[in-house]
Structure 1
């Protein structure tokens, strides 16, 4: 009987040792897998860091500067076109001013300095840019009984206002082009620094493409009109013809527009 009990105890110890061994093997496999995963991640991190810190080659920097040269040429063309638009607006504005010149002396003057006129029915007033002026802004009773009514030259006032808005839009575009030029110059300067990486060159290139104004993009060799512009009627679907060529032979000096 005692011998039988000893046999059972020995069997139980053997099973317990086997279970402990199995748990140890499972744990050992898990730890080994974790070490392998950690080593792989470390290798990946080292490789990524090495790629990030790889200094750009002279050929890569040269290629980047060539792209900047293209940006500069497109910006210069955009500024020449911009100046042509401003000149055209100024010419049209002068013509309108000449038409309005006989009427300025008959205007009333608002507190903010705007010249203002009343219509023949004395029901509505307009300022010098063709915008309506309410009775709350300027009392219609202030107009003399023989005030020259605005009806005959109201269209000229509205055209003057449209030209002013057009001029402001062109000047805003000019400002955007100059900002893009400044970014291009800053990118060129950074690319010339020792140790610049290819990754940084790629970042600069992406930033410039994102910031590039439409006025500059139109002069890029690979320019494609926006999709919505292609869906317009044939009358308006034609890409806007750059105004550069008709003005190339004029005395315009491109350096004036980059200052």
Structure 2
């Protein structure tokens, strides 16, 4: 009898998309679709969902970065920062030597940012994937990513790219939703985010499913200590984190030494 021939064609592995499992190769396209839909109402929804807290958290991020004043050149790469919230704050806080590149995979998110940018100086928009940045090694003094890293397919690749493009002595700062560490607040937050936010997305943006994914993606993201270890694995040093609002969000900071 002829030998059985097994199918040895490579199989696409799976990745999480919210609570669902999808083919790894399809995930980024699905995430892109989410952000193409939510871009026009993204900033408004952030205000409504967080009661304006996201603005304070972003202020805290720039406060932790503490960019130099005066004429000292200081270059920021803000990844997944399409609408400009973090980069604009940085340029407002930095001296005349400050410059920023906003890098985002979503053209729609960057269009929203360009519409808000006005005549801001020393600002550039670049469309690219955080897992494969189109910048030379050791190009930037600081790297920020706010509420973006949980939407990538390979967090480890993003962290390695962050390390690569930072100059020695450069800072890495990540602001992301995290694991609530206050009793009672965690229960209230789960009930609000899993139920109210998709309904709010439907009411304001006509899109409950995109906001259901965004909420579910928070639950899939590593907790504070696990994320610390991932940052260390990418060769960063002096890794620290600080919880915001009981751990609803956290700022992780590290150095490339």
Same fold? TM cut 0.5: no
* Structure with greater strand share of residues: 2
Q: TM-score range by the shorter chain?
A: under 0.3
**The structure with more radius of gyration:** 1
Q: Which has the higher contact order (CA 8 A, sep 6+)?
A: 1
